[in-house]
A and B are shown apart, each in its own frame.
Chain A
Amino acid sequence: MSHETLIAALYVFALAAFLGYQVISRVPPLLHTPLMSATNAISGISLVGSLVTAGAQYNTVSTILGFVAVTCATINVVGGFMITDRMLRMFKRKLPTVKDKK
């Protein structure tokens, strides 16, 4: 990694940190569990690194490590998004009252 790439990467990191702070502070406690599973799914983006490792045929060890990493990261991405949606579906503002049902 050259100095320029490092500095550029640090810029991205710092700005993402501030942005993250601003965005996440606005999430109400009501949604903290979905928030955690959502960020979990999003950080499953490390799948991107695993895919290259698994498919590039650098060497056998890397391929095996990459394969396991792809599996683990996919569990997070797929499972994380699905369960977040399952939870968010349950949050309702008001329900039909008991009288309405009758």
Chain B
Amino acid sequence: MTNYLVEFAYLIASILFILGLKGLSHPESARRGMVLAEVGMLMAIIGTLLHRDIVSYEWIIAGLLIGSTIGAAMSYWVPMTAMPQRTALSHAFGAFAAALVGISEYYRHGAELGSFTMGAIGFEVMLGAITTTGSLVAFAKLQGLTRGTPVVYKGQNIFNMSLLVFTIGIFIYLLIDPSASPVFYMMTGLAFLFGVLLVMPIGAADMPVVMSLLNSYAGLAAAATGFAISNNVLIIAGTLDGFSGFILSVLMCKAMNRSMTNVLFGAFGSDSSTAQIESGTEGTMREVNVDDVAIQLAYAKQVIFVPGYGMATAQAQHTVRELANVLESKGVTVKYAIHPVAGRMPGHMNVLLAEANVPYSSLYELEQINHEFPSTDVAVVIGANDVVNPDARDNAQSPIAGMPILEVDRARSVIVLKRGKGKGFAGIENPLFYKSVTGMLYGDAKDSLARLTQAVQHA
């Protein structure tokens, strides 16, 4: 009887998860949707606690308490600008849990496992292990613990591929002979190693793709757990997560006009020497000062802000909003143009601007806003670079050729807020900076914006 109850609880939980994600199709219904998903999770957990195999609760309670405390503390204290790091870390936790359950299942049953279950456990442990270490490397890069630049060496792709093929090879061997426990532990170890090697060569600029991909793997690891222990709610929830991550990574790749293989094995930005550009990079950059820009802004009809990762690093989202407030009080129309890969994870900029109380009705996607630039008086680029690089459109030789960009260079005037005269993270020259419509305002973005706000008030 209890068993039916438990299964029933799982069924309801699965339905609530789907309804919860459906709620995310609109900001108005999103929070309600999440409440449904939370209820579903609670039902699944309570149902599981009635499972007939569970005989002692002390470790469970300890784990739940410690986990809740850490989880709550993390979600409470983490600043919105650090959202990519937090997400990377939570991919690692989720995947590690799946890997551990898989290892425990193997430890318990070992030789008695049938090929199917062995296959499921193998997928679970491999995906879990790769995602765990891969996400930890991504976390280290995003947090600035290691350099964000790609780590490359000669023969890297060949080495990684051989390692992967070898790991898959011993996985197949395990399907035939599940009792070979040393082989299983070797496979697990290699998968942990492969996660590190997979993410190491990927630069910080490609993080949106990597984050989505790891999200997908973490989900699939959970789904594989479901196969291993024959649990449908795990399969459903894991698959939803897996596909969500997959869809996001495809979207991110499209937004950079690159293939998944190219992102994973291309080591972007490492070969910038071969990709020098001729079109319009000669000439000088025109430096402008705060007062001139302030007057331009104050007398504009429409201003579009284009935020990038630089806005996040400078924690400038609130200052942007203050400047926008002052401009709006002077009758200027203010809009925000968000490129899909601006920032370090999908939707990064939207969350930051929402934190600064920018209503989402002022946030525009690439396709919605591009036709508005020609009728825009001033486009203000805040710490964005590649997503506004006109070379992607004009120069077929450019390493980012074909990437859809925000066409700020079609605006009547462009102001670029930039820390220094250096190149972007990908090391690609940006001809936008040399165009006659462009004025460069150097300095910390937050500081520049604060001074602009002051100046606009007096203009």
Q: Which residues of A contact B (CB under 8 A)?
A: 1, 5-6, 9, 12-13, 16-17, 19-21, 23-59, 61-63, 65-95, 97-98
Q: Which residues of A contact B22 (CB under 8 A)?
A: 23, 26
Selected contact of A45 from candidates B24, B238, B248, B345, CB within 8 Å: B238
Stretch among B41-49, B392-400, B407-415, B439-447 lining the A interface: B41-49
Contact yes or no, A48 B231, CB < 8 A:
yes
A-B contact count (CB 8 A): 365
Contact yes or no, A50 B59, CB < 8 A:
no
B85 adjacent to chain A (CB < 8 Å): no
Contact yes or no, A78 B347, CB < 8 A:
no
Q: Which residues of A contact B218 (CB under 8 A)?
A: 40, 43
Nearest chain A CB to B317's CB is how many angstroms away? 11
Using an 8 Å CB-CB cutoff, how does the interface string of B269-300 with A read, 1 for contact, 0 for none? Answer: 00000000000000000000000000000000
Contact yes or no, B96 A72, CB < 8 A:
yes
Using an 8 Å CB-CB cutoff, how does the interface string of B347-388 with A read, 1 for contact, 0 for none? Answer: 110110011010111010100000000000000000000000
Q: Which of B330-344 contact A (CB under 8 A)?
A: 338, 340
Stretch among B100-108, B167-175, B421-429 lining the A interface: B100-108
CB-based nearest A residue for B361: A93
Q: Which of B188-242 contact A (CB under 8 A)?
A: 211-212, 215, 218-219, 221-223, 225-242
Contact yes or no, B108 A70, CB < 8 A:
no
Interface size on B, residues (CB 8 A): 116
Q: Is the interface of A mostly helix, strand, loop or mixed?
A: helix
Q: How far is the CA of A83 from the CA of B355 in the complex (A)?
A: 13
Selected contact of A48 from candidates B48, B241, B363, CB within 8 Å: B48
Q: Which 4 A-B pairs have the closest CB atoms?
A: A74-B67, A70-B63, A79-B71, A32-B347
Q: How far is the CA of A78 from the CA of B120 in the complex (A)?
A: 27
Nearest chain A CB to B12's CB is how many angstroms away? 13
Selected contact of B67 from candidates A25, A75, A88, CB within 8 Å: A75
Contact yes or no, B117 A12, CB < 8 A:
no
In the assembled complex, 26 residue pairs joining A and B whose CB atoms fall closer than 8 Å, in A order, are A6-B227, A9-B227, A24-B21, A32-B347, A32-B350, A33-B345, A35-B21, A37-B90, A42-B21, A48-B234, A52-B48, A58-B104, A69-B97, A70-B64, A72-B93, A74-B71, A75-B71, A79-B75, A79-B86, A83-B78, A84-B34, A86-B76, A87-B80, A89-B31, A92-B360, A98-B329
Q: Which residues of A contact B34 (CB under 8 A)?
A: 38, 81, 84-85, 88
Q: How far is the CA of A12 from the CA of B231 in the complex (A)?
A: 10
Q: How far is the CA of A49 from the CA of B57 in the complex (A)?
A: 14
Q: Which of B28-60 contact A (CB under 8 A)?
A: 28, 30-31, 34, 37-38, 41, 44-45, 48-49, 51, 53-57, 59-60
Contact yes or no, A66 B72, CB < 8 A:
no
Q: How far is the CA of A25 from the CA of B247 in the complex (A)?
A: 7
Contact yes or no, B235 A90, CB < 8 A:
no
